[in-house]
Amino acid sequence: MRIFLAGLAILSMTATPPSTVDGVWRTDGYGQLVQVSGGKLTTYDVTEVSCLPGALSGTGDGTTFSTNEGSVVTIRAGRMSFDDNLGVRSLRRVPGGLPPACRASSADLFDVFWHTFAENYPFFQAKGVDWKSEGDAARREIAAHPERLFDVLCGLIRPLHDAHVGLLAAGQHCSSPRPGTPDLKTTAPRAIAVADANLGSVPIRRWADGAIAYADLPNDLGYLRISGFHDYADTFAASSKVLAEALDEIFTAERVHQLRGLILDLRVNGGGDDPLGLQVAARLTDVPHFAYAKRARNDPDDPTRFTVPQPFFVQPAAAPRYTGPLTVLTGSLDVSAGETFLQALLNRHPRPVLIGQSTQGAFSDMLERTLPKPGWKVALPNEEYLDPHGRTYDGTGIGPDVQVPVFAPDDLAAGRDPALAAARR
């Protein structure tokens, strides 16, 4: 899922009449300001103690901006949207323009780090973490041993066991996914090789540098593996086109008529852009259905207050679609947009059968924040993705219907894939 940086700015006076969205805006949720001026978009990350330049910037015509991240941002009065992400962010105009603190900030790194989580992270209670008391202890430790700053901050986030939380500092990286999660970068290549070998001697077609793979199996079964929803091309629009072309070649009119069952393998899906997941889901149904609703924490003092949930639906594609039995292979390396894609399939009819292990439990888009020290950055989630009953799968992940080991070390060493074998049965 692509990082969801909030807050943007609007066009100031130029030789031509200003845009109606010129000025400075504050986002509901996401802790950011947005400034648009002279055809440029600039973001600022704000907390109670800081206002620092954000990572997202762009240039455009006053309402539509091509960004440094390959996405397109559209701003209308009171609204902001991204082509590579879902939902509309509400904007409130800031009288008087950019606050003075945004022009010259001398914020303390620890203060910015602590407040960034305190004001945006929604899951402290669910994780059993008292952020205030832990922060007080950490501040005392840093005062006594300032050379241990990175280790102390890392120690603060490790108990969260959240794959969307991370700290980067001058080449050092600290993260804390759910206990027992294998490393995606080292496990995925071996896991994919074992899965391919267990498909048998069938041709495997690949797209998007291997992120999408498909094979026709005996007995009119199909196997589709998607190992990520990101960076198929330089921009989101180009990535969407790459995906559409792959889906056209996979879901032909002849194939969707012949298939008796489809195995969808998401066990090594590292996430990316949610709209690409919905693009695939649109080829797997004839009937519109609820995918999920999305909301963001919206009160720096109260982690139980959120923006109004925005619902999203799977709409059948205007192209050949497969609507028969679907089995989905899941595991702890299915994370982020890989999980929201799976969540979007749960209300499909017929409902898919899930085989494997629980997904990672990290659904939210990520806020990426630059800390006031060169080379130091932090990332964290601030959203919930809700099912029709208002439940979130954050932390727990989506559990399987049939529990089967997924890429256990002994199975990988022996070249076995029991989850795939169960799906084929």
Q: What is the pLDDT of residues 124-144, one digit of tens each?
A: 999 999 999 999 999 999 999
Low-confidence ranges of the chain (pLDDT < 70): 1-19, 105
Q: Are strands 383-386 and 376-381 parallel, antiparallel or unpaired?
A: unpaired
Phi, psi of 176 (to 5 degrees): -155, 75
How much is the pLDDT for 62? 82
How much is the pLDDT for 104? 75
How much is the pLDDT for 7? 33
Q: What DSSP letter does each residue of 64-123 carry, written as one string?
A: EEEETTS-EEEEETTEEEETTS-SEEEEEE-TTSS-GGGTS----HHHHHHHHHHHH---
How much is the pLDDT for 141? 97
Phi, psi of 237 (to 5 degrees): -60, -40
pTM of structure = 0.92
How much is the pLDDT for 20? 80
How much is the pLDDT for 331? 97
Q: Tell me the C-alpha distance between 120 and 31, whole Å.
A: 7
CA dihedral of residues 111, 117, 118, 122 (deg, nearest 10) = 180
| CB 72 within 8 Å of CB 48 | no
**Token pair 């300001």 in the structure block, residue:** 33
How much is the pLDDT for 4? 31
Query: How would you classify residue 297: left for phi > 0, otherwise alpha for psi between -120 and 50, otherwise beta?
Result: beta
For residue 374, cis peptide bond before it (omega within 30 degrees of 0) = no
How much is the pLDDT for 15? 41
Distance of CA 410 to CAs 162, 263, 407, 413, 416, Å? Answer: 26, 23, 8, 5, 8
| CB 102 within 8 Å of CB 42 | no
Name which of 177, 174, 124, 167 is nearest 334 in CA terms: 177
DSSP helix, strand, coil percent of the chain (3-state; round to 5): 30, 30, 40
At how many degrees (to 10) do helices 131-144 and 149-157 cross? 170
Name which of 282, 293, 265, 249 is nearest 198 in CA terms: 265
| CB 357 within 8 Å of CB 406 | yes
Distance of CA 375 to CAs 30, 43, 65, 296, Å? Answer: 22, 18, 26, 27
| CB 228 within 8 Å of CB 211 | yes
Torsion sign over Cα 328, 329, 332, 337: negative
Amino acid letter, 147:
E
Please, what is the end-to-end C-alpha distance for the chain in angstroms? 32
| CB 265 within 8 Å of CB 329 | yes
How much is the pLDDT for 372? 93
